[in-house]
Structure formats: structure tokens, C-alpha cells
Amino acid sequence: MTDSRDLRLYDIARPSNREGLPIVSLDEAHAPNKVLAHPDLVRAFAAGEEFRPIHMRIGIMGACNMRCNFCNFHSPNEEQFYDRFSFKDSIKTDAAIRLMREFAATGGRAVTFCGSGECTIHPGYVEICEAAHEAGLRIGLITNGSRLSDPKIADCIARTHTWVRIGLNAGSEDNFKRITRDRDDTFPTFENTPRTLREAAVDPDFRVGFNYVITAENHTEVRAAAELAGRSGAHYVRFEPEFYSALGHQTVDEQMAEISAALDDVAALSTDSFEVSIPKLDRGAMDQVEEVEGDFEHCHYSRFVTAVGADGNLYPCPQVHLNSRYLIGNVLEDGYLQVLEGGKRAEWEASNPSRTDLCKSCFYRPQNELLEWLRRGHINLDEALSSYQIEIPRTLHADFV
């Protein structure tokens, strides 16, 4: 058994790059050991007891007003994996509101609007968010940023949201348009939108930042993008390499040395008020490969977080939503709690092969390894929770595990 006193919890629950690549540095809002901020749930997990997810990731529509070159849902690299995706899918406003209320009433604490499409173009986005907020849910948004200048959307975010993450994905307007097919002149708004949202937000923990997917087309603009993010008033810029389930990060393998050098360069732009998040650069493919990454046998993270697609179905996590192999049941037709506890989830888990057959690599590997080691007893539970409390007495966005 490993002595937990020899292990720093932060180092256990964090991704790492191989030698020669930049040190992974995650912004505070995305720390992967945040599950330890919920001792009641972690103790229940370690004891093998049942509990309900506290965070829902949901896509309320499949349509998007951009066509990013790297988008998984429109890529020929993913035609087989995301077989449930349809840009025509959309959860009706009244159904989404019912789901938000049911989730909150059954233990839910936070909801992130993301998904395969752009949630802010849903005609009921404001109404859905207001209902979710009224029900007591904290709200996060992953967006392409095109509607953040709309007064109704901006006002809704200021009143109800806890955080917003915007897709930057280029360091120049011309390249942004080439990569995203944007037709709304979105890129110029990035200079001011974060600061405007930040100044208007009601939630004292409000955070707004950028996400930058590194591709062969934009890897030379990493520095320009980081500088833009820094002067925009954003709290952070988060980089991640292009990823496909069957390819991993192979599309940027040839540029990896340049990407690594660029990330080493921009890491120095971090300040006390602005974080530059350096990603894991060598994550392997998830599908159609033999090698299995990670020291865990089952997906434990899906006990804490769940995902709903624009097709209305519940999935174990957002990485695999809209794949029929992971479909658990339709929460719009049968009800969220009925799918979660009425037998359908248990049936899926009983028939589902081990993660070594389905999820050979995992975006949530650090969380799953930490939970597995706690369950195995490789890490002492009481010491882990106590050490975390001392290291991080107040967890930012704790309910967004």
C-alpha cells in the first residue's frame, strides 16, 4: 500500500506531459482534484454507497452558427464515433426547464451548457437559464462567443452565470474567420467582452476565460492569442491540442516541437490576475486502438457528473455523449430520475464492457485515477480529505467537479 504522506494530492490528480514537453499548468477553475471538496460524496463513493450526480453537462441543441475546422461533430474523423449527432436536434424550452428543475430537486447543484451545438442561439436560452438559476443551480457556459454582445444574453449571464468559457482558436481575425467560418464579426468583440461580463456579473466567483484549440492552422498564433486574452480582462486562457477519438493528438504531431516552444513562451504571461493554462499534449486516441491509458478499471467520475445530449438522452460523460454505445436512456421521455435510478442506468452499466474496451484513453483520467486509488486504499481517505482542506481551504467553482 502506498503511504499517502509520500504523495501530494495535487500531483496525483493532474495530467502530465512526457519529458521534453511543457509542464502542465491548469488554471484554478479547472483543477482536476476538486472532487475532494465534497467529502460527503467522496466518503459515500469510497464506501460503495449510492449517490446522485451534482453536475450536469448538457447540450440543448445540435445546431451551431459556426463550422470550426476542428469540430468533432462535423469532422470525417468522427463520423462513426458521434453517430447520434444531428444538427437538427434541439431540446424544447419547456422540456429543458422541467429537466433543470428535476435535476435541482434531486441533488443537482450545477449545470454547464455546452454540447455539440451553440447553446446561446437556442431561442429559449435566457428563459432556461433563469429557471435553472431560480431552482438553485449554478450555471457555466462553453460558447463560441458570437452572442455574448447581445444585450439579452449578456444581461442573463451577468445575473445568473458563474462562469463563461469562450472559444478563441486564433490570434488574428482573418485566421479566426478561416477556421470557424464566422459570419458575425465575432473576433473583434473578444477585446472587450470578457471585461464587460466581468464588471457586470453578480456572482462574486464569476470567471470568464478563453479556450484555444491548437491546430496545424493556428499553432503559430498562440502568442498573439494569449496576449489578446491578457488585455481583454479575461481571467485565463486555456490551451488544448486538437483531439479526435480515433486519432488522439496526431493531427498536430508534426508541429509539436513548435507548439511546445510556443507554450513555454506564453506560460511567462501568467500573473496574479491572469492564468495561462498549459495542456497535456500527448494524450492517446480513445477509440480503435489497443493501448489502454490510466490506472483505473471503471469510470468513477460519471458518478459525480453526468451528461445530456441534444437528443434528450443521458450519457456517462460529455466526452462520449451522442455515441449510441454509451446511450443510457431518454430523460425527456422517461424523466431524469427514472433513467438515473429506475433501472436503465443500472442495466447499461451491467451490460457495458469495461472501460478498457470502450474508453482506452480518458479526458478525466486524473479524476478517475484519484477515485480509484481512494477506493483501493492506496490513498488514505481521511488523510486525503484533510490534506486537501489544508492545501485548498476554499475551492473555486467546487460544484463544477
Q: What's the length of the chain?
A: 401
Amino acid at 5: R
d(CA 270, CA 266): 8
Average pLDDT over residues 120-139: 98
Cell numbers of 158, please?
A: 451577468
Cell of 199: 464588471
Nearest partner of 207 among 31, 76, 19, judged by Cα: 31
Whole-number Å distance between alpha carbons of 157 and 132: 12
Q: CA 185 to CA 175: how far, in whole Å?
A: 12
DSSP-derived pairing of the beta strands 161-167 and 305-308? unpaired
User: Residue 13 has what pLDDT?
Assistant: 61
Beta-strand pair 275-277/305-308 = unpaired
Angle at 397 between CA 58 and CA 46, to 5 degrees: 85
Share of the chain above pLDDT 90, in %: 72
- If pLDDT is split at 50, 70 and 90, which confidence band does 6 have? very low
pLDDT at 353: 67
Distance CA 357, CA 233 (A): 44
Under 8 Å between Cβ of 103 and 111:
yes
pLDDT category of residue 356 using cuts at 50, 70 and 90:
low
Q: Which amino acid is at 102?
A: E
pTM for the full model?
0.95
Mean pLDDT of 231-249: 90
Tens of pLDDT, residue by residue over 195-228, are: 999 999 999 999 999 999 999 999 999 999 999 9
Give, to the nearest 10 degrees, the angle between helix 125-134 and helix 93-105.
20
pLDDT digits (tens, 9 = 90+) for 134-174: 999 999 999 999 999 999 999 999 999 999 999 999 999 99
| Nearest residue to 399 via CA among 77, 103, 73 | 103
Sheet of strand 275-277, all strands in order from the earlier edge strand to the far edge: 275-277, 236-241, 207-214, 161-167, 138-143, 110-113, 55-58, 305-308, 313-315, 329-330
pLDDT at position 56 is 98
Among candidates 354, 337, 356, which has minimal Cα distance to 345? 337
Specify whether the CB–CB gap between 351 and 326 falls below 8 A: no
Residue 4 pLDDT greater than 50, yes or no: no
The domains located in the chain, with CATH, are: 52-291+301-367 (3.20.20.70)
- Report whether pLDDT(8) > 60: no
End-to-end CA distance of the chain: give it in Å, rounded.
27
pLDDT in tens, 35-81: 999 999 999 999 999 999 999 999 999 999 999 999 988 888 887 78
pLDDT at res. 43: 97
